[in-house]
Amino acid sequence: MVLPSHPSVKPAPEQEPVVPRVVVDVMPKPEILDPQGKAVLGALPRLGFVGVTDVRQGKRFELEFAGEITDAVLAEVHEMAETLLSNPVIEYYTVHLAEAEQPA
């Protein structure tokens, strides 16, 4: 199902200036119950979206840096993810560079 854009939505600018950015995705571990994901899963069929068999809800952090993203910066991002951004008891995280992303 493709919905037309709302008329007030302006198209995104052609090319944003590139800011060095690292993305940290944090997800509940598979064995941990995710009540928020369950709530979303329950809402989808009510809206007519059928076929989704599971939803897991996580968090995405976009970290911007002034300078180049070196291995040392990435190592520090992993440290941030382990100490603050995620709770390793119940969550796992992945780190990637934003530039590598392709729009869906």
Partner 1 sequence: MKVGVVTFPGSLDDVDAQRAVGFGGHEAVALWHGDHDLRGVDAIILPGGFSYGDYLRCGALSRFSPVMTEVIAAAERGMPVLGICNGFQVLCESHLLPGALIRNDHRKFVCRDQRLRIENNRTPWTSAYAEGAEVTIVLKNGEGGFVADEATLDRLEGEGQVLARYLGDNPNGSLRDIAGITNARGNVVGLMPHPEHAVEDLTGAGTDGLGFFTSLVEGSFA
Residues that bind partner 1 (CB under 8 A): 28, 31-33, 35-36, 38-39, 84-85, 87, 89-90
Name the residue nearer to partner 1 (CB basis): 33 or 47. 33
Q: Which residues contact 35 (CB under 8 A, 6 or more apart)?
A: none
End-to-end, the C-alpha distance of the chain in Å comes to 15
CA angle, 30 as apex, 56 and 82 as ends, to 5°?
95
Minimal distance in Å, beta carbon 62 to partner 1? 15
Minimal distance in Å, beta carbon 81 to partner 1? 12
Minimal distance in Å, beta carbon 72 to partner 1? 22
